[in-house]
Amino acid sequence: MFMKGILLVNLGSPKSTAVPDVREYLDEFLMDEKVIDYRWFFRALLVQGIILNTRPAKSAEAYKTVWTDEGSPLIVITQKIQKKLQKLVDVPVEIGMRYAQPSIEAGIQKLVDQGVSEIVLFPLYPQYAMSTTETVIEKAEEVRKKKFPGIKINYIQPFYNREIYIDCLAESIREKLPENFDALQFSYHGVPERHIYKTDPTNTCNLNDCCSRENNPSHQFCYRHQCFDVTNSVIKKLGLPKEKVMVTFQSRLGKDKWMEPYTDETLETIGKKGVKNLAIVCPAFVSDCLETLEEISVEGKHQFEHGGGENFHYIPCLNDEDRWIDVVKILCEEKLNEFYLV
């Protein structure tokens, strides 16, 4: 009898806000070829020769503003999701981070120690991207082949278009929307435009209106399409007019061209265009983290107010809301059941 288990995988955070720990984390993260996709020599030159000289101190300051007594919000929230899910399913649930600790390897080891040999691995990203879903699967496969050749892993695919997820997200937003708002901004983590072309096996995405078209062959691998799709499905459920909604992309790094429009530039200018009361939500993240709690809730608010905006309302991620845990459970159970079919 093969025993089954679940591994929830998120991005990961530094082990503390000390600059050397942040440097170590950024080194592992940014030296990932799926994140900074230059050849090793040029990646090392950029990351270790330039970025790691200044960014760790700056990022450490930012982490300090969101860190809690229990640790990094991203990890603490992922642990809360794990605990709640564990109460609902009868197989072991562990967590693993793509970067830093607890690693994917440590998570698999914990499952194996409990007798598990068939794992459902859930990358906690609604949309597919080379720098998220793809690198998680690549890493897990590397670890499996090297350290755990006897186990099977079944991967949960991006769930951006699953109705249960959209219903959950729409309901969560509906509850948190303020009574009066001039616009609802959907701010997604950005990626360099090059990543979209690179991961399109159909060569049919030109980063133009094809991303919003129905049934373009590239959609399965187009992060931009998947962000638009979530937005459109949610606003349909909420009954919001398109004119009241904006999609922007945040957190860019370096000099490459990233997907536009940029969140920070938009926040700086919309106040003058008449958006005085803004609600903003970040559906690329299932759990709040540095990029939502600091970059949006604090920096973004300043940018909006600096540009003439008045009321800024950040809508938190799904985090450990019960309705979201129910969705996680359903998605995991679907994949657990596939093991019986093989």
Ligand X SMILES: C=CC1=C(C)c2cc3[nH]c(cc4nc(cc5[nH]c(cc1n2)c(C)c5CCC(=O)O)C(CCC(=O)O)=C4C)c(C)c3C=C
- 325 binds Fe ion per the rule CB under 5 A: no
- Kindly indicate which of the ranges 73-81, 98-106, 217-225, 262-270 contains the residues binding Fe ion, using the contact rule CB under 5 A: 217-225
For residue 160, the SS3 value is coil
Contact call for residue 195 and Fe ion (CB under 5 A): no
Which residue, 17 or 127, is less far from Fe ion as judged by CB?
127
For the chain, the C-alpha Rg in angstroms (whole number) is 20
Q: Is 225 annotated as a binding residue?
A: no
Q: What's the residue count for the chain?
A: 342
Task: Tell me if 222 contacts Fe ion by CB under 5 A.
Answer: yes
Using CB under 5 A as the binding rule, whether residue 97 contacts Fe ion is answered as: no
> Smallest gap, in angstroms, from Cβ of residue 11 to ligand X?
4
Amino acid letter, 177: L
Peptide bond into 14 cis (omega under 30): no
291 contacts 285 by C-beta, under 8 angstroms: yes
User: Contact region for Fe ion (CB under 5 A) — 117-125, 200-208, 310-318, 332-340?
Assistant: 200-208
86: left (phi over 0), alpha (psi -120 to 50) or beta: alpha
Q: Does 211 bind Fe ion (CB under 5 A)?
A: yes
Binding string to Fe ion for residues 155 to 194, with x set by CB under 5 A, is what? ----------------------------------------
Q: Which of 205, 284, 289, 325 lies at the binding interface for Fe ion (CB under 5 A)?
A: 205
Residue 68, judged by CB atoms within 10 A of its CB (0-12, 13-18, 19+), counts as: exposed
**Rounded to whole angstroms, how far apart are CA atoms 108 and 121?**
9
Concatenate the DSSP letters of all residues of 267-285 into one string: HHHHGGGT--EEEEE-TT-
Which of 225, 252, 301, 335 binds Fe ion (CB under 5 A)? It is: 225
Select from ligand X, Fe ion, none the partner in contact with residue 276, using the beta carbon and a kind-dependent cut-off of 5 to 8 Å.
none
Query: 155 vs 339, which CB is nearer to ligand X?
Result: 155
Q: Dihedral, CA atoms, 8, 10, 16, 21, nearest 10 degrees? A: 120
Is 61 annotated as ligand-binding?
A: no
- The site that binds Fe ion (CB under 5 A) totals a number of residues, namely 5
Task: Give the footprint of ligand X on this chain (CB under 6 A).
Answer: 11, 13, 26, 35, 55, 59, 72, 74, 125, 129, 131-132, 189, 191-192, 251, 253, 284-285, 289-291
CB of 53 to ligand X, least distance (A): 13
Q: Which does 222 bind (CB under 5 to 8 A by kind): ligand X, Fe ion, none?
A: Fe ion
Quick check: helix, strand or coil at residue 186? strand
* Torsion sign over Cα 137, 139, 142, 147: negative
CB of 132 to Fe ion, least distance (A): 8
In the complex with ligand X, the residue whose CB is nearer, 74 or 119, is 74
Phi, psi angle pair for 5, to nearest 5°: -155, 170
Say what angle helices 135-147 and 104-113 make with each other, to 10 degrees.
50
Minimum CB distance to ligand X, residue 340 (Å)? 32
Report the distance separating Cα 123 and Cα 78, nearest Å: 11
Residue 205 touches which member of ligand X, Fe ion, none, C-beta under 5-8 Å by kind: Fe ion
Judged by CB, which is closer to Fe ion: 54, or 150? Answer: 54
3-state secondary structure of 116: strand
**Known binding-site positions:** 189, 291
**Known binding-site positions for Fe(2+):** 189, 291
Binding residues for Fe ion, rule: CB under 5 A, are: 205, 211, 222, 224-225
